[in-house]
Amino acid sequence: MRLPNKENEIPKNLQKPKPNKKAKPHKKRWALGFVAFVSLAILILGGTFLFRTYQSLKKVVSTKSDITAAGLKGDLDLATLKGEGEGRVNILLLGEGDQGHAGEGLTDTMMVASIDPKTKDVVMISLPRDLYVKIPGYWWSKINSAHAFAEQDKDGSGPEVAKAVVSDVIGQPIHYFVRVDFTGLKQGVDTLSGINIYNRSDLNDPDYPCDKNESWSCGFKLKAGFYHMDGATALKYARCRKGNCGDDFGRAERQQSVAVAMRDQALKLGNILNPTKVSDLITNIGNHLKTDLSIEEIKRLVEIAKKIDSNKIKNKVIDGENENLVKTSNVGEASVVVPIAGVGNYRAIRAFVASYFLDGYVQSEAANVEIRAAGAKPGAVYALSSRLKSLGYNVVKTSMDSNEQSGTKLIDYTSGSKPYTIKYLEKRLGINSTKENRQNGQSSDIIIILGNDYEPKDSN
């Protein structure tokens, strides 16, 4: 397939298909990135029986033997810490249509599942498929084409390019990817003998594509109530977004409910303790699922997944309506989504993501932090306090000191009991801490004094 040679030219596979005169043309396609997480969870929850299907797994997982994410290696090495959130495991979930699907290779839904092995906190954040980004090695285009461009080069680098783009947008490392297609979800649900779903309100998506020809719209309706869904129905339930399906936010909620239902169904003794059932599952979805997680890394995730409370999974969407992070714009004749602050300015998006991808080590140490201004520019203490609070720090006090101080200080009163918090703050402030003995009645574990040399780091 020919690649575009102009920066703003839209590739043929991004253009709308010509309508079929005999049927109502389907206006838009909606891929299903979250099913990658679901399929991954099933693999993880397979436990020891995964090794009985090793040959099938080789088609799905990476053969590397090392562990990529520091968070899966146990306690982080203080000497090698790079920044807050380093203990989290961030997995990019890519959903694409089946082979032969219009716009093949496009990942219309891109979601990051972030897991904190220490706190068992899970956050899932969806990115708009039309976000206008710079794709390394290519040009500016919609984010859903990052994977497609590289895949068209036939070098298999699509997921890596997608990881690089998403990492740049959200300001967080992406350790792994999981990619799945529609058939992978349907076969996964059917192999589990269906899933139980409670649909909270009537759904009606008049633009939902037809099963046999996605260029046509056949619509999808579902009354409120309890359902035992097969794979085909589960796919429609999670894909619909037009009509009263609630756009991306409503779709994200339904995707989460499907993920939880598949996890619950996989945990049932009749499934997870049945080697034949697990083998069938891996074999059936093996050609429709790919990940750079190794078997060793999946093993490490087994115990983490079992301890996750599904009811506490946070599901967020980077959008313009609920979060006011992006807006619709135009590039040439193409409708795209851009950050509120302008093309390529991801500062607000990164701050939003960081406020949810909290560091488990900072949270568990729960150090009482006090910030004082002593010569710093007006407002600096409040800006730093707000920033640290958004990152999960426990800022208990802020104040203005009339005595000006030339040097910014980070004073540690913890006697070594809050090492990660101290190390992170040293890196953030660009200074070394000094240890002092706690005074009688002092409640602060750490005091930051902002002198006249203080310069806040760019949060972008």
Reported as a single tens digit per residue, the pLDDT across 295-321 is 788 778 767 877 888 778 888 888 876
Superfamily grouping for domain 12-354: LCP protein (3.40.630.190)
Among 33-37, 200-204, 346-350, where is mean pLDDT lowest?
33-37
**Tell me, what's the pLDDT at 104?**
63
Q: How buried is 350 (Cβ within 10 angstroms: 0-12 exposed, 13-18 middle, 19+ buried)?
A: middle
Sign of the C-alpha dihedral computed for residues 17, 23, 29 and 35 taken in this order: negative
Of the two residues 190 and 204, the one the predictor is more confident about is: 204
Mean pLDDT rounded to a whole number for the chain? 81
Give yes or no for a contact between 111 and 127, defined as CB atoms under 8 angstroms apart: yes
Residue 323 has pLDDT above 90, yes or no: no
Residue 242 is classified by DSSP as S
Q: Average pLDDT, stretch 110-115?
A: 89
List Cβ neighbours of 387 (8 Å cut-off, separation of 6 or more): 456, 459
**Tell me, what's the pLDDT at 66?**
82
Distance CA 354, CA 168 (A): 13
Distance CA 313, CA 295 (A): 24
Of the two residues 1 and 261, the one the predictor is more confident about is: 261
**Tell me, what's the pLDDT at 28?**
40
**Tell me, what's the pLDDT at 258?**
82
Among 15-24, 35-44, 264-273, 402-411, where is mean pLDDT lowest?
15-24
Hey, do 12-354 and 366-450 end up sharing a CATH topology, with the first three levels equal?
Answer: no
Residue 189 has pLDDT above 70, yes or no: yes
- The strand pairing partners of 292, in sequence order, are none
CA distances from 434 to 159, 365, 416, 423 (A): 44, 19, 11, 12
Give yes or no for a contact between 141 and 149, defined as CB atoms under 8 angstroms apart: yes
Of the two residues 345 and 97, the one the predictor is more confident about is: 345
Among 152-161, 234-243, 347-356, 383-392, where is mean pLDDT lowest?
152-161
- pLDDT bin (cut points 50, 70, 90) of residue 458 is low
Which residue matches tokens 């997680």? 293
Distance CA 107, CA 110 (A): 6
**CATH fold of 366-450, please?**
Alpha-Beta Plaits (3.30.70)
Distance CA 100, CA 444 (A): 61
**Tell me, what's the pLDDT at 190?**
87
Distance CA 448, CA 429 (A): 9
Residue 176 has pLDDT above 70, yes or no: yes
Give the pLDDT confidence of 73-86 residue by residue, as tens digits.
Answer: 888 999 888 888 98
Chain-centroid distance, C-alpha 34: 9
Residue 19 has pLDDT above 50, yes or no: no
Task: Write down the domain spans for the chain.
Answer: 12-354, 366-450
Residue 256 has pLDDT above 60, yes or no: yes
Quote the pTM value: 0.82
List Cβ neighbours of 35 (8 Å cut-off, separation of 6 or more): 93, 95, 180, 184, 185, 188, 238, 255, 258
List Cβ neighbours of 396 (8 Å cut-off, separation of 6 or more): 368, 369, 370, 443, 444
Q: Which helix (H) or strand (E) holds 317?
A: strand 314-317
Distance CA 91, CA 215 (A): 31
